Amino acid sequence: MLGKGYKVFGTYRRLSTPNFWRLHYLDVYDKITLISADIMDARSISEALKKSNPDEIYHLAAQSFVGASFDQPLYTSDITGFGTVRLLEEVKKYNQEIKIYQASSSEMYGNVKTKLKNEDTPFHPSSPYAIAKLYSYWMINLYREAYGIHASNGILFNHESPIRGLEFVTRKISNGVAKISLGLSDNLKLGNLEAKRDWGYAPEYVEGMWMILQQKRPSDYVLATNESHTVKDLVDEACRVAGVSSSKIISSKVNFRPFDVLDLKGDYLKAKKKLGWKPNTTFKKLVKIMVEEDIIRWQRWLKGEHFPWDAATSGDDSHIVMRNKTQF
Ligand code: G4F
């Protein structure tokens, strides 16, 4: 967005331990304006609108981890579901000309039988997270039809990069095999290796989000790669890149979800035709980007360099601390 000449505002939740490492990693921390706000607090959203007076809103705020939504269904519903309505209501009061992008999710399809999912495929959500996202999806449609707000859903399939959180399977694997390859760990425990996902490269999907809001008419679009791979395929490819034996990767029932979506594969034809959008990074390239980046980080760590490339509380890497606080 900065590259396109936008003035960018970002909202953040106040935390006792600041978590801005991704903004530093992308070298944008000093180039954007941060506003303290919370999607649970309508008044703070109203204030954020007044401070930023936006033309476009990219609504990505959510409890976005499917696994955690089974443990915290009400919390997830409040943030990922009602949060969108709090935003829509404040936009309706403040300025109905603002364009809104809603981060909808391929999880909304759940275990529906259709192999290749597009904008016309029926939804069958299979987690509290997916149900909350589907609620938001329909609210976006309602505010578009009832109030004429330029509100669009991007139905994005899994999109990944080296700044993915460690709790998600791609980064858990890239980080895990990187550590095994450098002798920092013996094995990696995962959950369901048979699940299939349609994994693409996040920067390309963010470009797609922007394209969606540049359309004259709001609409809903699938962004995907038209391919799906099993978690086991991901493990094998990551191990190949890192030079690690895949026998070190263990599937443990402890990490299985109460209910899992078996196969998600998206059809991006509408986005291609209407937006001119298409994914360019192959599955193998994506795995290579992520594994190589994690190996580099751990090599730097071994040389004594400590920096918060993940929040201090993430997974079993909680020992990563800031040595030089002024740096970040
Ligand atoms: O990486 P995941 O946690 O992503 P998931 O559940 O597909 O959700 C992500 O993509 C959605 C888009 O479709 C977003 F809406 C959502 O916010 C998030 O970004 O899990 C992927 C698959 C699952 O089937 C899971 O059961 O990997 C399987 N898996 C196997 N072992 C694991 C693990 N997932 C995690 N997180 N950790 C494991 O150890």
How many CB atoms sit inside 10 A of residue 164's CB?
20
Ligand 1 center–CA 129 separation, angstroms: 12
Query: What's the 124 CA to ligand 1 centre distance in angstroms?
Result: 17
- Tell me whether residue 291 is in a domain: no
For the segment 269-289, the average pLDDT, to the nearest whole number, is 98
Give catalytic status of residue 107 as yes or no: yes
Indicate which residue of 109, 129, 201, 268 is catalytic: 129
At 51, which CATH number?
3.40.50.720
**Range(s) of the domain holding residue 147:** 2-166+195-228+253-282
pLDDT, tens only, 121-155: 999 999 999 999 999 999 999 999 999 999 999 99
Q: Is 91 helix (H, G, I), strand (E, B) or coil?
A: helix
Contact 255, 190 (CB under 8 A): yes
In a domain, 295, yes or no: no
| Confidence check: pLDDT of 3 > 50 | yes
Q: Can 129 be counted among the known catalytic residues?
A: yes
Q: Which two tokens stand for residue 320?
A: 């990563």
Structure tokens, 21:
């490492």
Question: Is 247 within a domain?
Answer: no
On whether the pTM is more than 0.85, the answer is yes
Would residue 303 count as lying in a domain? no
pLDDT of residue 314: 43
Q: Is residue 205 part of a domain?
A: yes
pLDDT digits (tens, 9 = 90+) for 81-98: 999 999 999 999 999 999
Q: How many CA atoms lie within 13 A of 65 on its CB side?
A: 14
| Tokens, residue 138 | 């329909």
* pLDDT tens sequence across 53-64: 999 999 999 999
**Per the structure, how many domains does the chain have?**
1
Q: How many CB atoms lie within 10 A of CB 64?
A: 19
